[in-house]
Amino acid sequence: MKPKYVVGNWKMNHNLASIKEFFMGLDRMKMELKCEAWIAPQFVHIPILKDLAFSLGKAKIGAQNSAIAESGAHTGEVSPATLADMGVEFVILGHSERRSIYKESNEVINQKVTLALNNSLKVIFCVGETLEERENNKTFEVVRQQLHQGLKGLMWNSDLMVAYEPVWAIGTGKTATPDQAEEVHAFIRKELSLQFGEQGKVIPLLYGGSVKPDNFGELLSKPSIDGGLVGGASLKIADYGALCSIASSYY
Ligand code: PGA
CA 219 to chain centre: 15
Q: Which atom of ligand 1 is nearest to the CA of 212?
A: 3
Yes or no: say if 50 and 18 are a contact pair by the CB < 8 Å rule: no
The pLDDT tens digits of the residues spanning 91-132 come to 999 999 999 999 999 999 999 999 999 999 999 999 999 999
CA-closest candidate to residue 108, choices 140, 65, 143: 65
CA 179 to chain CA centroid, Å, is 20
Give the pLDDT of residue 112. Answer: 98
pLDDT of residue 59: 84
Specify the DSSP element, H or E, that contains 124: strand 122-127
Average pLDDT, the chain: 95
Tell me the best of 230, 236, 240 to mutate to test the pocket of ligand 1, counting ligand atoms within 8 Å of each CB and taking the most: 230
**142-184: pLDDT as tens digits:** 999 999 999 999 999 999 999 999 999 998 888 889 999 999 9
Q: Average pLDDT in the 47-51 region?
A: 92
Q: Distance, CA 63 to ligand 1 centroid (Å)?
A: 15
Confidence of residue 27 (pLDDT cuts 50, 70, 90): confident
Provide the pLDDT for residue 186. 98
Model confidence, pTM: 0.97
pLDDT per residue over 72-82, tens digit each?
999 999 999 99
% of residues, the chain, pLDDT over 90: 88
Distance 228 CA to ligand 1 centre (A): 9
Residue closest by Cα to atom 3 of ligand 1: 231
Quote the pLDDT of residue 173: 83
- CA–CA gap between residue 77 and residue 172 (Å, rounded): 29
The closest-lying atom of ligand 1 relative to the alpha carbon of residue 172 is 5
Q: Is the pLDDT of residue 88 over 70?
A: yes
- Measuring from each residue's beta carbon to the nearest atom of ligand 1, which residues come in under 6 Å? 9, 165, 170-171, 208-211, 229-233
| Rg of the chain (C-alpha set) | 17
Q: Say which of 95, 97, 104, 133 is annotated catalytic.
A: 95
Give the residue among 60, 62, 133, 66 at the shortest CA–CA distance from 94.
66
Residue 2 has pLDDT above 90, yes or no: no
**Contact assessment for residue 236 and residue 21, using Cβ atoms and an 8 Å cutoff:** no
Instruction: Give the residue from 19, 10, 79 showing the smallest Cα distance to 39.
Output: 10
Is 74 part of the annotated catalytic residue set? no
Share of the chain above pLDDT 70, in %: 98
At residue 56, the pLDDT reads: 63
Q: Annotated catalytic residue: which of 104, 129, 133, 165? A: 165
77 included as an active-site residue: no
Residue 55's pLDDT is 61
Q: What interhelical angle do 178-196 and 139-150 show, nearest 10?
A: 40
Q: Whose CA is nearest to atom 6 of ligand 1?
A: 231
Q: What are phi and psi of 126, to 5 degrees?
A: -100, 140
